Structure formats: C-alpha cells, structure tokens
Structure 1
C-alpha cells in the first residue's frame, strides 16, 4: 500500500512538472540537437571557412591584423588561429556594439566574409538554447525549467522500474521494458516511445542538464566544484598590467613562443586587451569544439613576453571539471560518437513533452468516455461530478489569468531594471538583481502548477491548499496595488495591471470557497 502511494505521488510529480515545463524543454532539447553538429555543417556549407594552401606561408599575426584593418573599420577583439593549413583565420570583431565573425585568408590577408552574429543561424540557435532570446530573464526561465526537467527525468526513471523485478527474468518482460513494438496500436506506441526512449536517454540528458545549469547558476558551479575538491571555490584575482602601449607585434612574439610548446593543439585563440589593464592572453585548445584540455598564456601587451601561465595539468579537479563543461555538454569530449549521442538524446528529450502530452490527452479522453456511460442509479454522482468539472475549469482558468498577470508584471518590472529606468529599488544599476525575480518565478511556477492540478484533483486537502494560496496571493496583490497608488500614482498602466490581478484574486477566492463546499 505504501509502495502504491509512493508511485502515485511520483507519477503526479512527473506529470505536472512535465506539463509545466514541457514547452521550454522541447525548445532547449531541439535547439541542442541542431547545434550538436554546427562545426561539421559550417565546414560543409560555408566555403569561407576553408582556404587553399599556399607555398608562401602564412602572414604574421600583426600583418594579418594590419591587412584586416585596412579593409574594415571593425575593431579586432580575438583572433582564432588554426594549425590546420586549410582553415581560414577567424576574427571576432565589433562595430557600433554589433559583433561579427570576420574570416580572413591567412596567406594573403584578404577578407573572405564578415558574418553579423545577430543574423547568423547557429548563433541564433545557440541563444534560443541559452535564453530564448530574452536576455537574463530567458536565462532564468531556461535554468529553472532545466532543474524541473532533471526532477522529471529522475521521477520517470523511478516509474520505469516495474512493481515486480521478475519481469526482467523472462523475454516478454524484458521486451516490454526495453523494446518498442512499432506495429502496436497508436496509444501503446506512444506509451512505449515515452517510457522506453526516456529510459535510454535519461542518464545522458541528466548529465547534459547539469552541465547546462552549471553555466546558468553560479551556485551549481560552486556546488560541483566543492563536490569534486571537498573545498570552497576561491575567487581568482585577474592579472593586471598596463596595456595602453599594446602593439600587434607582441602577438608575433607570443605565437613564436607558444606554438613550439603546444604542437598537440590545433587552435590558438588570442584575446586582445579590452581595457587599459588587461594582458594579452592566448588559449591553446584541441580544436574549435573542444576547450577542456586548454592551456593559457598571459603576456605583456607591448612586448609579448610571458608574465604568467595556467596549464591544463596544473588545474585541480574542480577547475578541470569547469573547463570540461562545454566538451561534455556538446558531446565533443567523446568525438563524433559523443556528438551523435548528444544529438539523439536531444531529439528524444524534445519528444518526451510531446509524447507526454499525448498520453495525458488520451487519459483525459478515456475518463470523459467513462463518465458518459452513466446509469440511472448514479445520476446524482454524475451531477456532482459535472459541478466539479465546471468549477475545475473555471478555477484553472482563473489561476491561469493570475499567472499571466504575474508574468506580465514580472516582465514589466524587470524590463525597467534591465533598461536602466528609474525604479524604487535601491542600488538599481541597469542589471537585473536576482532577488527581484526569483520569488516571482517561484510564484509563477506554483500558480501554473495549481492551474493544471485543478483540472485533475478534487481532494479536500487540495481545495484547502488552493484556497489558502489564493488568499495569500490576493493579499500580496492588494498590497502592491495600494503601494502603486500611493507612491506611483502616475504609473497608470501598472496600477491597471495590478488592479486586474486583485480582481482575478477575488473571483478566485470566491470560486474556491464555493468549490470546497461541493461534496466529493
């Protein structure tokens, strides 16, 4: 009995967490799959990524930068110098706050192409994957949705295990757990696709999800660091040096020093000084899709002489793990095989919300069909159920309206901070403070869960819980509308929005009060 209750609870958590974040998970997984082979596709499709080898030899980096500056007004920020003779040299450049990848022939100095990153297909895919093109707000949405996705995957694995382990001892049982019957009826096929493919991809998706949120949340990165080193992560002091006399010839001296030492590396990225106190840095890595085994050299911007180094073998376990996030997340750590795994896992991850919703809809249709088969002896129960159904739909809609109100007010407030408008927030400096939206995201998630759960649950405890939450949120909204009227009376749009949220809260409280009086 306890085991059945546990499974029911896990199934409930799995269902509603999946429905709540399904759309975001679908987008993240699909864009991740598309991005998995971005390097191979670029080399195949874009001719300016490659050049013909020349017997003349490559131009010095200083000459290359000089040749580029004669042809373009863009400022050079980084140089991607490939060891492979057939690869063009790539520059990260900027003009009027717009970033470009500029491709230049390393033998002639001729500009082959300049790609505006805001319109580059794979850059757009990457930023959809990272923040839905919504900046910091989108980053938070992605981060928290992925955390919920991890919980969904773990709960899915728990549900995958059968009640009786004897299932694994016979061929038919193993087939039901590990195999997909392609010619099965549509509903059974949908169930198998969700259950079996989810099992195969879950462990990979959990690893990808953890490495993803380690970029999003500092506390996750710090926790992983502590987990592998058993010590707290320390802030590394940046190397400071006068870079006002930066000379491009320092790049030549630096390359001459680094290249013979790192013959095993295929890419050398030169970071030019961006302030008056930055050294020149060169990072040597195995390629443009692998950065884990990288070495860093810091040099004097005027002479190119080495002032500091950070080699891969000197990193502790935490630093090593941090440097491998990208390689693990993209699958490049395991080469082509790893990328194929990530690609397939991403496609399966994108399919899980789709098959999950299909299963949910099939389940609802089945319930409705059962409800229509009612005899005269249970007509009273049908009337009660009909009342529940009407109230559930109304309450779910009101919760949804309230969630939309919270989201709109959230975006309105954060946009004000993000764009540096004057707000009643101490220390506002144009950046989004975490506390300003963490609690709102929590409210939004809870409200959406309550909205979805209202369609399924009629238990007394759930009605009371919903009623209490509605009262608390109603008081919260009332406080905010009064505060806005007293201190921001000229801000009509915000007052109208908050007033609408108060009105929805009142209707919700009244509806929930009426609903909890209906007998189950």
Structure 2
C-alpha cells in the first residue's frame, strides 16, 4: 500500500471516528474543560459561602448542632471539616438514604465565626455533580463508564491519525503551520488547532482510558497491600450512628488528649466502622465509639501516590501547576471546536460530491441524447 492510499485510509478512519462519536465527544469535552476550574468557579457562583473572616472560633459540637438543625428527618451528619485558612467556611457533610442506591450527600456551609448557616445544597442536584456524572458515565447506568473508556480509546486513535493527516504530503513541514492552507476558515481552524492540541489530547484521552478501566491497568501500581477492614463499597453505603455512645465533644476531647493540635475534621462513627475519625494537625486519631479508646494512627493527609492516582491528577488537573490546568482546559475546549469544524467540513464535502454526481449525470444524459 503506497503513502497516498494509506493516507486515504487514515482519513476515512479519522473522519468516521469524529462523526460517529461527536455526540459523545462533545459532552465529555464541554464538561471536562469546565470541571478543571471547579474550585475557582464555585467561588464565583457562590461568593456568599466564602465571605467569611477568621479561623474556626467555636467548638466542633457547636457547628454540628447548627448544621443538624438544618437537616430533615432521615438525614444525618457524617463529617465536619474546619477551614484550613481564612476565607473558607466550615463544611458539614450529611447523608440522606436512597432506596437501593448510595446515600445522597448534603453540604451545609457555616460561618466559622458564629456558626451561622450560609447555604445548604443537595450535592446530587448541583451543576458540577451533574457534569461529573456526564463526564464519567454520560449518565448511562452500568454501561456508561466503559462506553466513556472506549470513546477515550477512539480519541487516542483520532489524535494520532490527526497528526498523520496534518503532516504535509510534500515540501517543508512548515507548510503545515500556514493559516491559508485551505480556502475555508473552518478547515484552517481544524488543521491548526488539531495539531497544537493533538499531543495534550492524546495524554488526556489515555489517562481517561486508564481511569475508565482501572482493573486493566492495576498491575502498573505493583502488588496491592492485603485488604483490611470494610470494603470501599461497604463504606460508601455505611449509615452514621444516630446516637453515638461517645458524644462528639467527648470524642474530640479524648482525641486532643492523645494528640495536641488544631482539629481539622471529624468523621462520625457508622454501622460499618463504629469509631470517630478525627484529624488533628498532621495526625489522624480514632476514637472507638463504644469504649472511647483512642489511637493515633498514620499521619493524616493524602494516600500514597500510586501511578493510577497520578493519572487521575494529570487528567483532571487537580493539584497540578496552573500551566497544566490551562492545557487541560484547552484540551476540552479545542476538541469541541474540532468536532464542530469537522462536521462542517464533512457536510460541505458531502454537498460538493452530490453536486458533482449530479453534473456527471446531466453530462451523461446529454451525451446519450446526442
């Protein structure tokens, strides 16, 4: 197969990947470039939540009582997170049971100065949570995650074939960077933007595939440590104990007697794991609900940095430098433009081929009549 025929083959492959998957690629890209700015956008959308001053000045039990007063029957507190710096609210997290599914999460924002309730939201109905679900599964139950994974595989192939098609057939490679490579603006946009975003798009698509099919890449993280305690699925469906044997203020006092420092967060005991988990400074302290026994465990903070976790960071940009977050943003925005310009190019070519076929039929008819 010569170079021209191979190029035509890659062109057909690239074209039909873009056309057939545009309906999936567009929502993935749009939600992707919005989610990378999740935290800054939250401050813009909800400025009242961050119009607070000073660190947490009250006891954790005071914030818990204020948050509990906002809950409806069946809802229960699960965690209290105190601000790490000025300008951040106290965040009380609660859950609402959902029949046959995971409990719905509720966020209650409190002023750290006086425990005034600033806002309450049901996380499942927020714009960002809906975008997370779209980006992770296209809102398709069960099959959505693997579908997104295979769309990622197609985008990996599309980015590679796009580089092949961008490369000029003859002359210097500098020809590929010319704006007026084609007569149409949409074609020039498609070629130039496609080249500059091809490598980042390849990286983002590959990391997206990694996230969608974790079991396929689990071997890259090395041998897993032996599982201890309840499974992650069980913990996600755990129910907070309504009346703990050890009250919150007693649990905090016991934890602070074992570990000095400011309280960063408090997690309630559940039916699956009946113990308080309290972060104090850089340490994590557990307090058994039944006995009040305390234990200072490993330093609090991030879990070990596995390759899978690194892939997720690269993909969503969280905790990465600003320049990479900007690339992730463009990696979602520019493919949206590429999808639209690609559809325009295909439609124009389709009309052109139809008009050419009609002229050929008319010419053939005149020749036959003559």
The reply to whether TM is greater than 0.5 is yes
After TM superposition, give the deviation of residue 113 of structure 1 in Å: 1.1
Query: Normalising by structure 2, what TM-score?
Result: 0.79
Conserved? CA contact 2:163–2:198, under 8 Å: yes
1:208 aligned partner: 204
1:332 aligned partner: 318
2:287 aligned partner: 300
Conserved? CA contact 2:29–2:335, under 8 Å: yes
Cα deviations by residue, 1:10-42 (Å, 9 ceiling, x for unpaired):
222211122121111111101111222221122
What are the within-5 Å matches in structure 2 for residues 118-133 of structure 1? 118-133=124-139
Conserved? CA contact 2:52–2:112, under 8 Å: no
> Does residue 141 in structure 1 map to residue 147 in structure 2?
yes
> What is the distance in 2 between the residues matched to 1:283 and 1:156?
49
What are the within-5 Å matches in structure 2 for residues 169-188 of structure 1? 174=174, 176-181=175-180, 185=183, 187=184
After TM superposition, give the deviation of residue 274 of structure 1 in Å: 3.5
CA separation of 1:177 and 1:101: change in aligned 2, threshold 3 A: same
Whose helix proportion is higher, 1 or 2? 1
1:58 aligned partner: 57
What are the within-5 Å matches in structure 2 for residues 85-484 of structure 1? 85-97=86-98, 98-164=104-170, 166-168=171-173, 174=174, 176-181=175-180, 185=183, 187=184, 189-222=185-218, 226=220, 231-233=222-224, 236-238=227-229, 245=245, 247-249=247-249, 250-251=251-252, 254=255, 268=264, 270-277=266-273, 279-281=275-277, 297=284, 299-302=286-289, 303=292, 305-306=294-295, 308-309=297-298, 315=304, 319-374=305-360, 378=364
> What is the distance in 2 between the residues matched to 1:281 and 1:75?
16
CA separation of 1:235 and 1:274: change in aligned 2, threshold 3 A: same
CA separation of 1:24 and 1:314: change in aligned 2, threshold 3 A: closer
Conserved? CA contact 2:26–2:339, under 8 Å: yes
Conserved? CA contact 1:48–1:112, under 8 Å: yes
Matched residue SS, 2:52: coil
CA separation of 1:377 and 1:207: change in aligned 2, threshold 3 A: closer
> What is the distance in 2 between the residues matched to 1:310 and 1:52?
29
CA separation of 1:69 and 1:370: change in aligned 2, threshold 3 A: same
Greater relative contact order (Cα < 8 A, sep 6+): 2
CA separation of 1:275 and 1:163: change in aligned 2, threshold 3 A: farther
After TM superposition, give the deviation of residue 363 of structure 1 in Å: 1.6
Matched residue SS, 1:102: strand
Matched residue SS, 1:333: coil
> What is the distance in 1 between the residues matched to 2:280 and 2:7?
50
CA separation of 1:140 and 1:359: change in aligned 2, threshold 3 A: same
After TM superposition, give the deviation of residue 139 of structure 1 in Å: 2.6
Structure 1: state its 5+ residue gaps: 169-173, 262-266, 286-294, 383-520
Cα deviations by residue, 1:145-197 (Å, 9 ceiling, x for unpaired):
22222221122122222334x513xxxxx2x4235349x74x3x212211221
- RMSD between aligned alpha carbons? 3.7
CA separation of 1:159 and 1:76: change in aligned 2, threshold 3 A: same
Query: Which range moved further: 302-311 or 16-25?
Result: 302-311
> What is the distance in 2 between the residues matched to 1:177 and 1:258?
63
1:411 aligned partner: none
Cα deviations by residue, 1:323-347 (Å, 9 ceiling, x for unpaired):
3344322323334333322222211
> What is the distance in 1 between the residues matched to 2:120 and 2:154?
40
Query: Normalising by structure 1, what TM-score?
Result: 0.58
CA separation of 1:375 and 1:216: change in aligned 2, threshold 3 A: closer
Cα deviations by residue, 1:21-74 (Å, 9 ceiling, x for unpaired):
11111111011112222211221331342243259x522323322332244343
User: How many positions carry a matched residue from both structures?
Assistant: 348
CA separation of 1:364 and 1:255: change in aligned 2, threshold 3 A: farther
